[in-house]
Structure 1
Amino acid sequence: MPTILITGASSGIGKATALRFQSEGWNVVATMRDPATSDLDHTDTMLVSRLDVTAPSSIKAAVSEAIDRFGSIDVLLNNAGYGAYGPLEAFTTDRIRRQFDTNVIGLLDVTKAVLPHMRASRSGAIINISSIGGQVTFPLGALYHGTKFAVEGLSEALHYELEPLGIRVRIVEPGMIKTDFGGRSFDFAMDESLGDYAPTAEAMGRVFGKLASNPSAPELVADVIWQAANTNSDQLRFRAGPDAVELLDKRKQQDDATFIGSIKALMHD
Structure 2
Amino acid sequence: MKKVILITGASSGMGKETAIHLIQQGHIVYAVARRIEQMQDLERLGGHPLKMDVTSETDIERVVDTIIKEQGRIDVLWNNAGYGLYGAVEDVSLEEARKQMEVNVFGIAAMVQKVVPYMRAAKSGTVINTSSMGGKMYFPMGAWYHASKHAVEGLSDCLRLELKPFNINVVVLEPGFIATEFGSVLLEGFSRISKNSAYRNMMDKIIEGTKKAAEGNGSSKPEVISKTISAIVNSRKPKTRYRVGKFAKPMVWMRVYLGDALFDKIVMSQM
Match of 1:240 in 2: 244
Kindly provide the amino acid, as one letter, of the partner of residue 182 in structure 2: F
Distance of aligned partners of 1:69 and 1:45 in 2 relative to their CA distance in 1, 3 Å threshold: farther
Q: CA deviation at 1:15?
A: 0.4
- Superposed, 1:73-84 pairs within 5 Å as 73-84=74-85
- Superposed, 1:77-92 pairs within 5 Å as 77-92=78-93
Over 4 Å off, 4+ runs: 209-212
Q: Secondary structure at the match of 1:85?
A: coil
Match of 2:157 in 1: 156
Q: Encode CA deviations 1:156-176: one digit per residue, 9 max, x unaligned.
A: 111111111111000111111
Structure 1 residue 217 corresponds to structure 2 residue 221: yes
8 Å contact kept, 2:23–2:45: no
Structure 1 residue 179 corresponds to structure 2 residue 155: no
Match of 1:106 in 2: 107
8 Å contact kept, 2:19–2:42: no
Match of 1:191 in 2: 194
Q: CA deviation at 1:211?
A: 5.1
Hey, what's the Cα distance between the residues in 2 that align with 1:193 and 1:206?
A: 18
Hey, what's the Cα distance between the residues in 1 that align with 2:210 and 2:152?
A: 22
Hey, what's the Cα distance between the residues in 1 that align with 2:11 and 2:225?
A: 15
Distance of aligned partners of 1:217 and 1:113 in 2 relative to their CA distance in 1, 3 Å threshold: same
Q: CA deviation at 1:255?
A: 1.2
Kindly provide the amino acid, as one letter, of the partner of residue 121 in structure 2: A
Q: Secondary structure at the match of 2:269?
A: helix
Q: Secondary structure at the match of 1:171?
A: strand
Hey, what's the Cα distance between the residues in 1 that align with 2:5 and 2:174?
A: 19
Kindly provide the amino acid, as one letter, of the partner of residue 230 in structure 2: W
8 Å contact kept, 1:127–1:229: no
- Superposed, 1:1-269 pairs within 5 Å as 1-42=2-43, 45-184=46-185, 187-188=189-190, 189-194=192-197, 196-209=198-211, 212=214, 213-214=216-217, 215-233=219-237, 235-267=239-271
Q: CA deviation at 1:36?
A: 2.1
Hey, what's the Cα distance between the residues in 2 that align with 1:44 and 1:122?
A: 30
Q: Encode CA deviations 1:46-100: one digit per residue, 9 max, x unaligned.
A: 1110110011100000111112222211000000111000012222222111111
Q: Encode CA deviations 1:233-265: one digit per residue, 9 max, x unaligned.
A: 462110111421221222222111111211111
Kindly provide the amino acid, as one letter, of the partner of residue 54 in structure 2: V
TM-score of the superposed pair, with normalisation by structure 1: 0.92
Distance of aligned partners of 1:169 and 1:79 in 2 relative to their CA distance in 1, 3 Å threshold: same
Q: CA deviation at 1:135?
A: 0.8
Hey, what's the Cα distance between the residues in 1 that align with 2:226 and 2:123?
A: 25
Distance of aligned partners of 1:37 and 1:44 in 2 relative to their CA distance in 1, 3 Å threshold: closer
- Provide structure 1 residue ranges, at least 5 long, that are not aligned to the other structure: none
Worse-matched range after superposition: 53-62 or 231-240: 231-240
CA RMSD of aligned residues (A): 1.8
Hey, what's the Cα distance between the residues in 2 that align with 1:61 and 1:172?
A: 26
- Provide structure 2 residue ranges, at least 5 long, that are not aligned to the other structure: none
Q: Encode CA deviations 1:184-227: one digit per residue, 9 max, x unaligned.
A: 57633422442x21122122224434555421111111111122
8 Å contact kept, 1:2–1:72: no
Q: CA deviation at 1:45?
A: 4.5
8 Å contact kept, 1:10–1:35: yes
Distance of aligned partners of 1:24 and 1:217 in 2 relative to their CA distance in 1, 3 Å threshold: same
Kindly provide the amino acid, as one letter, of the partner of residue 201 in structure 1: M
**Identical residues among aligned pairs (%):** 38
Number of equivalenced pairs: 266
